A = this chain, B = another copy of it.
């Protein structure tokens, strides 16, 4: 036997350092490659008009649990999480491809359900399904979606454009999807203990829907455009506000201050969080799967933004050397932490 080769476990790096490591040698040789790895989507350009491309992989047992995730919702969600990345570039999604790995457990009627959700999302957001790959799988269900969108060059919003003194804004509200997931997991455990107990979902429709059937923020972008507001920087919130704010700061070489009392959290999120003894603010900061947009705009738009439904100003951009902090109502400053993808670490 040769010497044992070096073995660096992935959890020693964590998601973000792993991606940095694997993509550090990615060099672009095509002039049509405007932006590669490192934003919500890649940008492929011809003069004036740009295309954006983004992709997401959903694996059974990691990203979804079919015990409580209806296939139609899953198909819908698999599409919209990608559309959310396209919108986060301030682009309009136009096409998707869908690849599936399917095990024998699934029948045609199951796939019809899944595709009903896929087509519903396509219809609602004006997107064409243009291709894919269908394969057998010996393990669970695998769904890989790639979305393509378009924008004129000057409309695109990168993570890297935030300027000092910009207002930091977020659409909708935060933490609801995470609480929806916690509720589903709780009821699953109860059901596993006693299959005769009916799950207690009454009154929690909103948090469940936020997890099972998120909607990307197309309308907010349309409204911003109408008001003549172009964000300087934008990112979508898939891993939680904290992580995404730090991505935005790192890419823009700035810091930020986020005010805890400004965080938009729905009443139902507060209520279920209390019932389950979870801190709703932690859910909002680190919960993830919100698919809201986090963006910065020049401060002169402050008044216009205050009148805008579905947008909250939660803080502002500061110089890089001041760091990224959450300010509590009593004035304490808590440093933001990127959570990212801990699944490998905790496996």
**Are A344 and B150 touching (Cβ within 8 A)?**
no
**Are A137 and B97 touching (Cβ within 8 A)?**
no
Which of A59, A103, A108 is the most central at the interface, judged by chain B CB atoms within 10 Å of its CB?
Answer: A108
> A32 and B94 in contact (CB under 8 A), knowing A10-B106, A109-B5?
yes
**Are A131 and B10 touching (Cβ within 8 A)?**
no
Which one of B19, B63, B138, B146 lies within 8 Å of A97 (CB-CB)?
B146
**Are B133 and A61 touching (Cβ within 8 A)?**
no
**Are A101 and B142 touching (Cβ within 8 A)?**
yes
- Nearest chain-B residue to A38 (Cβ)? B131
For A115, list chain B residues within 8 Å (CB). Answer: 22, 25
> A44 and B94 in contact (CB under 8 A), knowing A138-B59, A139-B139, A344-B136?
yes
**Are B102 and A344 touching (Cβ within 8 A)?**
yes
For A21, list chain B residues within 8 Å (CB). Answer: 108
For A133, list chain B residues within 8 Å (CB). Answer: 55-57
**Are A104 and B347 touching (Cβ within 8 A)?**
yes
A26 to chain B, nearest CB (A): 5
For A138, list chain B residues within 8 Å (CB). Answer: 59, 61-62, 140, 347
Which one of B18, B135, B341 lies within 8 Å of A341 (CB-CB)?
B135
**Are B36 and A129 touching (Cβ within 8 A)?**
yes
> A135 and B26 in contact (CB under 8 A), knowing A13-B108, A33-B130?
no
For A137, list chain B residues within 8 Å (CB). Answer: 59, 62
Encoded as 1 (CB less than 8 Å from any B CB) or 0, chain A from 81 to 114 comes to 0000000000000110101111110111101100
Q: A148 within 8 Å of B by Cβ?
A: yes
Task: Given A7-B107, A101-B142, A144-B144, output 6 extra A-B contacts at Cβ < 8 Å.
Answer: A22-B134, A46-B49, A56-B99, A59-B135, A59-B138, A136-B341
For A55, list chain B residues within 8 Å (CB). Answer: 97, 99, 131-133, 144, 146
**Are A134 and B18 touching (Cβ within 8 A)?**
yes
What would be 14 A-B contacts, judged by CB atoms less than 8 Å apart?
A7-B108, A9-B107, A10-B107, A28-B130, A30-B94, A37-B129, A37-B132, A44-B148, A46-B46, A55-B97, A56-B133, A59-B138, A62-B137, A101-B142
Q: A233 within 8 Å of B by Cβ?
A: no
Encoded as 1 (CB less than 8 Å from any B CB) or 0, chain A from 1 to 33 comes to 000011111101101001101110111111011
**Are B126 and A59 touching (Cβ within 8 A)?**
no
For A140, list chain B residues within 8 Å (CB). Answer: 138-139
**Are B144 and A99 touching (Cβ within 8 A)?**
yes
Q: A294 within 8 Å of B by Cβ?
A: no
For A127, list chain B residues within 8 Å (CB). Answer: 29-30
A25 to chain B, nearest CB (A): 6
